[in-house]
Amino acid sequence: MKAFEQSARLSPLDPFAFNVHLGMGLAHFSAGRPDRAIEMARQALAERPGLTWPYRDLSTYYAASGRMEQARDALDKFVYLRPAMTAATLRDGLRFMEPALLDRYVGGLERAGLT
C-alpha cells in the first residue's frame, strides 16, 4: 500500500494514476477492507470513465461487502463488452495473484453471477 501512496505523491499528474487506485483497491480487498476497495475502484472510474475492467473489481468488492445487487450490476457492465468471459478464463488471466486471494476474488464474481 505504501508504494502506491508514494507513487501517487511523486507523480500527482500522471495520466495513468487510475492504476494506482486500482492497485490500492486490490490491496484493501486483500486486507479485508472491501468498502475501502470499492472507493478506490470508483475513484479510478471517475478518473477514466471509459474503462471497463474496474467493474470486474467493483463486482467482487461489492459481493465481499454483501451488496449483491450492486455486485451483479457491476458484473453486467463488465461482461457486456466481454460476453465470452468466464470464471475459468479470468482465473487463468489473473494467475499472478496469490492463490487464496485469487480464490476470494473470483469467488466474489461467481457469487455475482459469473459462470
Q: pLDDT tens, 43-83?
A: 999 999 899 999 999 999 999 999 999 999 999 999 998 99
- Ranking 7-16, 20-29, 56-65, 83-92 by mean pLDDT, the lowest is 7-16
Q: If we measure between CA atoms, which residue out of 27, 17, 86, 24 comes closest to residue 51?
A: 17
Give the mean model confidence (pLDDT) for residues 8-16: 59
H-helix or E-strand spanning residue 101: helix 99-112
